[in-house]
Amino acid sequence: MSASASSPFGSGSHAHSEQRLSRTSFVLDCFRISSSILPRVFPTVLFLTLYASAIAAADLIWHASWTTSYAVTSTLSVVVGLLLVFRNSTSYDRWYEGRKLWQDAQTTARNWALLVWINVDTQPDKVGAKQRAMRLVGAFMLAVKHELRAEYGTQWEDLRAVLPKEWLQSQPANGAYDAMAKVSDIERQISVSEASPLLSQGSSGMAHDSLGLPLRILAELHHYLATSRRAGLLDDLGPAGFSLLNTQLLTLSTLFSSMMRISTTPTPLIYAIHLKQSSLIYLLALPLALVGELGWKMVPFTTVVSAMLVGLEGISSEIEDPFGRDKSDHRLDEWCHTLNAEIETIMRSVKQGVQEE
């Protein structure tokens, strides 16, 4: 496939799908319900509103005497507030770190492609191998995207457009990797004791049988560099340039591991459950503390407070894993498209090899 051949990654700009805040109207953003967390937390808020309505009805019909003190809800509000602050701060740190790691990886991949295209000498029988390596570094970012989303294998349309055909036909390794991934997904949700082995016998055997697509691509790129050096195609770069290209591939591996750390290490389940339990206790106690003074008027007040607290927890849950497909997650599809389009443009528009003066 030549550099000028048609590619699924056009040179045109990819449409931005991210919704942004208005720069002119605060009120306009407040009424963008579909883009907010409210649709997601609506069932919980509705339940708490109905609960508060039942408390108000009991107070009006049976004249129930509620003696709950404000001190109870005040103490609970401090505890819940501290938990929510920590939860939101941790989730946003993960979201922002994920963006930085992806940007570093995309920049490193782009720099590697530029260095290879310009500095690897051109020979008629080696051009195809260079183009293959160029597309593989773009395929690496696509493979990382699918790996972060637990989408294993090579059956994805964007991957099939850039991977070598022989890779698409070699299903045994991918099949083993899919099996390992399913076992891994199950084991991530099971707590093991310190005396338990880190890998079960079944999963450890499969771990040795497959490498995973992102690491397989990096291994192929390392092999390409070694082959090019042996063929004398990297003489102009010298040892320092060869070392730089290898270091960039190692950097991609490190960044991939860091992104996997974020993706596969959620907030501890026991902490997340305790936060929800504490919030629920507070919201259940709130109507009891307010109905004696406000009567039925405490129902809308409870609804507003519930929407705020439950919404904050919902936001934390949504941005905790920034590599998924939620509205607030990073635009990995767009960024992968942009990188691969840039690589195709480099191969089409930039002169390859070192030019003689």
* DSSP codes of every residue in 203-242: HHHHHHH---HHHHHHHHHHHHHHHHHHTTTTTTTHHHHH
Instruction: Give domain status of residue 331, yes or no.
Output: yes
CB atoms within 10 A of CB 97: 15
Residue type, 356: E
Structural domain range at position 199: 69-266+320-349
Global pTM reads 0.79
Instruction: Give domain status of residue 228, yes or no.
Output: yes
**What is the model's pLDDT at position 21?**
57
Look up residue 99 and give its two tokens.
């963006």
Which string of DSSP letters, residue by residue, matches 321-337? Answer: STTSSSTTS--HHHHHH
Instruction: Give domain status of residue 119, yes or no.
Output: yes
Range with the poorest average pLDDT among 175-179, 212-216, 333-337, 343-347: 175-179
The count of structural domains within the chain is 1
pLDDT per residue as tens digits for the range 112-129: 999 999 888 877 777 888
Look up residue 207 and give its two tokens.
């771990």
Spatial separation of the C-alpha atoms in residues 142 and 159, rounded to whole Å:
7
Percentage of the chain exceeding pLDDT 70: 78
Instruction: Give domain status of residue 242, yes or no.
Output: yes
Q: Are 315 and 326 in contact (CB under 8 A)?
A: no
Range with the poorest average pLDDT among 32-46, 47-61, 189-203, 259-273: 189-203
Instruction: Give domain status of residue 121, yes or no.
Output: yes
Residues 6+ apart with CB under 8 A from 230: none
Instruction: Give domain status of residue 234, yes or no.
Output: yes
**What is the model's pLDDT at position 38?**
87
**Average pLDDT along the chain:** 80
**What is the model's pLDDT at position 354?**
59
Which string of DSSP letters, residue by residue, matches 187-206? Answer: HHTS---TTS-SS-HHHHHH
Spatial separation of the C-alpha atoms in residues 158 and 173, rounded to whole Å:
20
Spatial separation of the C-alpha atoms in residues 350 and 102, rounded to whole Å:
25
CA separation, residue 254 to residues 38, 82, 290, 294, 335 (Å): 37, 34, 54, 58, 19
Look up residue 117 and give its two tokens.
């295209």
Look up residue 136 and give its two tokens.
């593989």
Instruction: Give domain status of residue 271, yes or no.
Output: no
Q: What's the average model confidence in pLDDT over 274-302? A: 88
Q: Are 282 and 306 in contact (CB under 8 A)?
A: no
Q: Let me know how many helices (H) and strands (E) the chain has, helices first.
A: 13, 0
Look up residue 279 and give its two tokens.
């919030």
Q: Are 340 and 162 in contact (CB under 8 A)?
A: yes
pLDDT per residue as tens digits for the range 307-345: 999 999 999 988 999 999 888 899 999 999 999 999 999
Q: Are 137 and 8 in contact (CB under 8 A)?
A: no
Instruction: Give domain status of residue 227, yes or no.
Output: yes
